[in-house]
Amino acid sequence: MPADKEMKNKIIKGLFWKILENGGAQGLQFVVAVILARLLSPAEYGQVGIIMIFITISNVIVQNGFSVALVQKKDSDETDFSSVFYFSLAAAAVIYGLLYLAAPAIGRFYGNPLLGQIVRVLGLVLFPGAVISVQTAYVSRRMEFRGLFLATISAAAVSGIVSIAMAYTGYGVWAMVGQQMVYYGALMVSLFIHVRWRPRQVFSLSRVQGMLSFGWKLLLASLIDTIFTNLYGLIMGKIYNDAMLGAYNRGEQFPRLITTNLSAAIQAVLLPAFSSQQEDIGMVRSMTSRAIRTSSFLVLPMLFGLIAVADTMVLALLGEKWLICVPYLRIMCVAYAFYPIHITNLQAINAVGRSDIFLRLEIIKKMVGIVGLVIGIRYSPVILVSIKASVDFLCVFINAWPNKKLLGYSVGRQLRDIASSILLSAFMCLCVYGLQFVLPGGVWLKLGIQILAGAVIYMGLAWMFRMESFRYLLETIRNRR
């Protein structure tokens, strides 16, 4: 089999299992979240949302940088993986110690002592998180995503059952804490069952230092991105109230569920694929273009459709008390619409070894974002989040700009590649939105008809206009039979 065809088959197979893993796990977590939303209040969601911001930032310090370096490095071996394993656990211990000491201050800052207790309990997920980062790097390196799929689905199912049981029996906010604790622990154990890698009794500081020379830029860039992304939640929790933060988090969850599934698949599968071809710029450019066109063809109609059915869906799934999240849901759909393009461009930059450019991009984007944040906090939460969406859209062009020189793939060409998907998605959105005003029956019937109509309109137009991405996906499906 020719090398390029073999690589294409590996990418398709890897994307299949990675999308299945993310889609299955997030699908289960979505169902669990809907049930929990019926049992818990927006204020309770907001309380855990505040603490999850601190945990997420801490996890970035523990997990990021080294995991990407393990995948990007051409000759990673058992010494590399084991060394990063022990180093990550040591980092987790240090970060958890800092969180433990800071917990009372966090509770005082937000005027809720319970938050300090949650920090100390939920911070324990840093330890299994450190292990999982090395396990997933091993999987990505070898593009063996089937084991990761099985482990993730198992962890999502077990943690979902535990959290629902806790919420139903009156544990309140601790039900969501329990969900996170069980998920991380179960995922780590499941990965040891389904993935062949085991840490060895070997540690090389020189190997860690070598990967740190590449990974620290990615770590710093990821840390900047995570802090800034969650800064909106921190500010909303402080300036406004827990219920408002809960509404924002719930509204963001729906578009994030769609985009992070495909984006995580792109990141996990394309980085090793790009890295293996990093000396062939033409191949990397071709793979980047294909990933952008295909991901946009799939993601854009889902997010535009979500904008159209937002009212009906929230009322059907979550109930009337959660309608306050609808404006945030629609705004964040716009913010996430081009997220796969963000990820694909950045992975191409990482693959050719330009982590310095990656870091500079993050600094530039955050400088722009801070300006938007300073302006937004003077107004209502809706205006604040709208400015965030505008900044995220601008960041699409910032991320894409370096690849004009690195790959010969300009911003204009990227926009031309996705223009047809944007136009068809926008037309479908208008049609589906209008249906809610003429359809009879209850919310579930309306939601079902709107979703079906959106799928028929978009796929029908794609077939009618013979869109290249549509034909490519059909051909790929046929060839896999």
What are the domain boundaries of the chain?
256-481
Q: Mean pLDDT check: name the lowest of 112-126, 405-419, 444-458.
A: 405-419
How much of the chain, in percent, has pLDDT values that exceed 90? Answer: 19
Cβ(473)–Cβ(297) under 8 Å? yes
Q: Mean pLDDT check: name the lowest of 190-194, 234-238, 250-254, 369-373.
A: 234-238
- Indicate whether 21 pLDDT > 60: no
How confident is the model at residue 451, as a pLDDT? Answer: 92
| C-alpha–C-alpha distance, residues 275 and 142, integer Å | 12
| C-alpha–C-alpha distance, residues 83 and 465, integer Å | 53
How confident is the model at residue 271, as a pLDDT? Answer: 47
* Packing angle, helices 42-63 and 205-239, rounded to 10: 160
How confident is the model at residue 1, as a pLDDT? Answer: 45
- Indicate whether 306 pLDDT > 90: yes
Q: Mean pLDDT check: name the lowest of 25-29, 249-253, 326-330.
A: 25-29
Q: What pLDDT digit, counting tens, does each position of 384-441 carry?
A: 888 888 888 888 888 888 878 877 888 788 888 888 999 999 999 999 999 888 887 7
- Indicate whether 260 pLDDT > 90: no
